[in-house]
Amino acid sequence: MPQRTARRAGGRGTRRFTRRDVVVLGVLLGIPVLLDVVIVWGPALASVGLSFTSWDGIGDIHWAGGDNYEHLVEDYPAFWPAVRHNLLWVAFLGLAATPFGLFLAVLIDRGVRFSRFYQSVLYLPVVLSLAIVGFMAQLLLGTDQGVVNTILDNRNDPVDWLGDSDINLWMMMLAASWRHTGYVMILYLAGLKAVDPALKEAAAIDGANERQTFFRVTFPTLRPVNVIVGVITVIEALRAFDIVYAVNKGRNGLELLSVLITDNIVGEAGRIGFGSAIAVVLLGVSLVFVVTFLVQELRGARGK
């Protein structure tokens, strides 16, 4: 029905719709469009605008040209680590957590014993917010009173899991993956259930072994799920914030772009122009992924 409307709206055929129809449809389409513009595009463009200014959130806004970007790239020591950590986060979730989730889904789908039990246990972390996962990580990995160090009994030379900037990011990514894996697993499980068993049987008759069946037959039919999982993985990685903020406010090895934005804009600091410049960088990074996905999707759709 919406498709038909769209096609007609451009042509001469609004005659078929009464005035009331037009009003109702206008309102129903108008509200989401308005909300989209006001809530999504308005602030995004405002951030881009503000990123060229200097503003403390109280007084006047001053034009600053590209100063913010220059200071960001050259003088702000947290910036490049944050970019690196964000990309590493994408890579880790994409190359470790997501495949592992798929692996678990395949195992459970094949019907190991107690599969219902595993399914529930692995999915359980998904109901927790990442901030809670962060708090749990602190209970486990605290230097003086954490569970892990207590078990290792290394009081004289404790491992500083969350304070050592060489390892804390990995600990955080592991904790985040714990939650992400369950999420991915459920999505793939739903996808696998929908794969027509006849396809697998046909492959088996053709003499394919299990590996071949999976990679050549099952996996390609999961394409719609793959796209969703890919998008979710990238979103999860780029919006990672609460977990590191809960642990140490995203400092000392846990810098992420989202944290730097918050530090500069939200806190007492009030470097709104500077913070906006960081936000624009994050927008840029996100756009790279969004555009890649869209291009892939459109190509895929045309291919059919």
Partner 1 sequence: MAQSSCGGPASPPVRIGHPMSRRELLRGTALGAGAVTLPALLTACGDGPGGDKGEVTVGSNASDAVPKKAFAAAFDAYEKQSGKRVKVNTTEHNEFQQNITRYLQGSPDNVFMWFAGYRMRYFAEKGLLTEISDVWRDFKGFSKALKDQSTHDGKQYFVPYYYYPWAVFHRKSLFEKRGYEPARTWDQFIALARRMKKDGTPVAFCDKDGWPAMGTFDYIDLRLNGYDFHQSLMAGEEAWTDRKVKKVFDLWRELMPYYQKGALGRTWEEAGQGLQRRRTGMAVLGMPHPGSQFPENERDDIDFFAFPEIAPEFGQDAVEAPVDGFLVAKKSRNVEGAKDLLAWLGTARAEDVYLKGDPNNVAVNEGADTTAYSPLQKKSAALVSGAEQISQFLDRDTRPDFAQTVMIKALQDFIDDPNDVDGLVNRIERQKKNIFESAS
Query: Interface residues with partner 1 (CB under 8 A)?
Result: 20, 24, 27-28, 31, 54, 56-60, 62, 64, 67, 71, 74-78, 142-145, 155-158, 160-165, 168, 248-249, 251-252, 263-264, 266-271
Instruction: State the minimum distance, in angstroms, from the CB of residue 78 to partner 1.
Output: 6
Instruction: Let me know: does 143 contact 162? Beta carbons within 8 Å.
Output: yes
CB of 117 to partner 1, least distance (A): 35
The pair of structure tokens assigned to 163 is: 């304070």
Which of residues 59 and 303 has its CB atom nearest to partner 1 in the complex? 59
Identity of the residue, 3 or 156, whose beta carbon is nearer to partner 1 in the bound complex: 156
**Helices 130-141 and 168-194: angle between axes, nearest 10 degrees:** 130
Where b means 16+ CB within 10 Å and e means fewer, 71-110 reads ebeeebebbebbbebbeebbebbbeebbeebbebbbebbe
- Residue closer to partner 1 (CB basis): 90 or 254: 254
Nearer to partner 1, 135 or 293 (CB): 135
Residue type, position 287, single letter = L
Place of tokens 């555009």: 291
Distance separating alpha carbons of residues 137 and 169, to the nearest angstrom: 12
Q: What is d(CA 248, CA 254) in angstroms, rounded to the nearest whole number?
A: 8
Closest residue by Cα to residue 50 from 258, 260, 272: 272
Strands 53-54, 62-63: pairing is: antiparallel
Backbone angles phi, psi at 62, to 5 degrees: -110, 140
- Residue with smaller CB distance to partner 1, 63 or 127: 63
Q: What is the DSSP string of 83-115?
A: HHHHHHHHHHIIIIIHHHHHHHHHHHHTT-TTH
Supply the minimum distance, in Å, between the C-beta of residue 16 and partner 1: 15
- Encoding tokens for residue 284? 């840029």
Decide whether 32 or 284 has the Cβ nearer to partner 1.
32
Cβ at position 216, least distance to partner 1 in Å: 46
Nearer to partner 1, 75 or 209 (CB): 75
Least separation in angstroms between CB 176 and partner 1? 18
Q: How far is the CB of 241 from partner 1 (least distance, A)?
A: 14
Q: CB burial class (10 A; 0-12, 13-18, 19+) of residue 39?
A: exposed
Question: Please, what is the minimum distance in Å from the beta carbon of residue 259 to partner 1?
Answer: 11
| 3-state secondary structure (DSSP) of residue 63 | strand
Q: Indicate the angle between helix axes 168-194 and 115-123, nearest 10 degrees.
A: 130
Q: How far is the CB of 60 from partner 1 (least distance, A)?
A: 6
- C-beta of 104 vs 162, nearer to partner 1: 162
